[in-house]
Structure 1
Amino acid sequence: MQEIASHSTAERIALRKLVTYRDVVVTEAGVRPVHPARRASVAAVVRNPWAGREPLADLSEEQGRVAPVLAGILTDHLIAALGGADEIEAFGKAAIVGTAGEIEHAGALIHTPYFGNLVREFLRGESIICFSDARAGAGEDLIVPMWHKTHAATRSHYQTISARVGDAPRADEIVVIAAASTGPRPHPRIGDRTTDRAVTAQNLEDVLS
């Protein structure tokens, strides 16, 4: 596992803790998947850089200062947890802002090039990164969606992972999460958007009537 961020880096972005979660499905419906995927999420708990600011305050300066550092730390730990960037096939991102913050504060750390572009680059992806965000108290679960890092229309890789930090976010904190999987869901078999037949209300008239 990668070393935790240096003390100076942690201080610079007010990083309080990192939490890594990993899982692997050994059997599904009693059958071992052909390609058992390993999934992981890494959550960083940081002080909300906009805590106490008036509503509608400009967010850009802190975005450029905090978000790139988070992208580097989270992807370093995610890559280490899953055995390398080339092992990763699907990815996602999320943020939970504490109750004293705006939902826009969560988005400000994950929905800009300072975070998303770097996560995509470090994990060697091309797709837009799917996401979730919320405002909540400490210990709240957040479901992080993921899809294929280079072919977002590949349904086999549509999956989720739960992320939770028991004592975060505090009211003046934000939890920022990066998640990834080394493969598809167990036993994927629902087709693909590139091979599906065209479906419209008109050609399903007998089903809908």
Structure 2
Amino acid sequence: MALEIRRWMTTVENRIAPGGEAPLRKVAAIAVVKNPAAGRYVEDLSQMTADSEAVGELLARIAVEAMGGLPIESYGKGGVVGIAGEQEHANAMLTTTFAEPMRLAVGGAMAWIPSFTKLAGPGVLIDVPLAHKDALYVRSHYDGVSVTLPPDTPAPDEVALIVVLANRGRIGARVGGLKASEIGGKDGLR
């Protein structure tokens, strides 16, 4: 049984950087799905996990297209569960099964994908974290995308699943640490 996608949407933010730095593009792709466990307790959430793969593939494709051919350096994921569900429902849908299509869509990635989930009513704001796709400890890429859901989303029986991408780190990042230019090789470091 597949997750029922009720709608999807995309946001794109472009920021001009001073001093000749490359502009920053942040993208959020959101799919609103019917929560098959809304209103009842379900012990085994593995079917939701398995069914999330198709949603992950869709969101990865939409997000990469919205990047407009820019290189992708950062990613993240998030979810908002409507109030007839449990926060655990979004976590069940945002596992490796959901995320692996995103890794493939961005040309392969080695780092853990940061995520954030919550239970909330419609129209809520969620800050979805970003981190470098190949090495978690690249401080310049610790960032996020703020997504405000529409005033009727999520409905009590829905879950909003979110994928975020960015083409670079924060504008003006200068707190030191591992640099994106120092990443490479099998273990993510040169």
**Shorter-chain TM band:** 0.7 to 0.9
The answer as to whether partners of 1:109 and 1:115 remain within 8 angstroms in 2 is yes
- What's the RMSD between the two structures over aligned residues? 1.8
- How many residues align structurally? 177
Which residue of structure 2 lines up, in the alignment, with residue 26 of structure 1? Answer: 16
Question: 1:193 offset after TM fit, Å?
Answer: 4.9
Separation in 1 of the partners of 2:11 and 2:67? 11
Gaps of 5+ in 2: 180-190
Instruction: Report which of the two structures shows the higher radius of gyration computed on alpha carbons.
Output: 1
Separation in 1 of the partners of 2:120 and 2:19? 37
Which residue of structure 1 lines up, in the alignment, with residue 48 of structure 2? Answer: 62
> For 1:91-106, what aligned pairs fall within 5 Å after superposition?
91-106=75-90
Question: 1:61 offset after TM fit, Å?
Answer: 1.7
Separation in 1 of the partners of 2:56 and 2:144? 20
User: Percent of counterpart pairs with the same letter?
Assistant: 32
Which of residues 98, 102, 118 is equivalent to 1:119? 102
- Give the secondary-structure state (helix, strand or coil) at the position aligned to 1:43: strand
Which residue of structure 2 lines up, in the alignment, with residue 148 of structure 1? Answer: 132
Separation in 2 of the partners of 1:32 and 1:42? 30
1:16 aligns with 2:19: no
The answer as to whether partners of 2:16 and 2:22 remain within 8 angstroms in 1 is no
Which residue of structure 2 lines up, in the alignment, with residue 82 of structure 1? Answer: 67
The answer as to whether partners of 1:120 and 1:129 remain within 8 angstroms in 2 is no
Gaps of 5+ in 1: 1-10, 195-209
Question: 1:64 offset after TM fit, Å?
Answer: 0.7
1:1-49 deviation line (CA, Å, top 9, x unaligned)? xxxxxxxxxx94211111101111124xxx3551211110011001002
Which residue of structure 1 lines up, in the alignment, with residue 176 of structure 2? Answer: 191
Moved more, 96-105 or 184-193: 184-193
Moved over 4 A (4+): none
Which residue of structure 2 lines up, in the alignment, with residue 3 of structure 1? Answer: none
Q: Greater share of strand residues, 1 or 2?
A: 2
- Give the secondary-structure state (helix, strand or coil) at the position aligned to 1:87: coil
Give the letter for the 2:59 counterpart: L
TM-score normalized by the length of structure 1: 0.79
Question: 1:62 offset after TM fit, Å?
Answer: 2.6
Separation in 2 of the partners of 1:163 and 1:51? 23
The answer as to whether partners of 1:26 and 1:33 remain within 8 angstroms in 2 is no
Which residue of structure 2 lines up, in the alignment, with residue 139 of structure 1? Answer: 123
Which of residues 40, 45, 52 is equivalent to 1:53? 40
Question: 1:113 offset after TM fit, Å?
Answer: 2.1
- Give the secondary-structure state (helix, strand or coil) at the position aligned to 1:78: helix
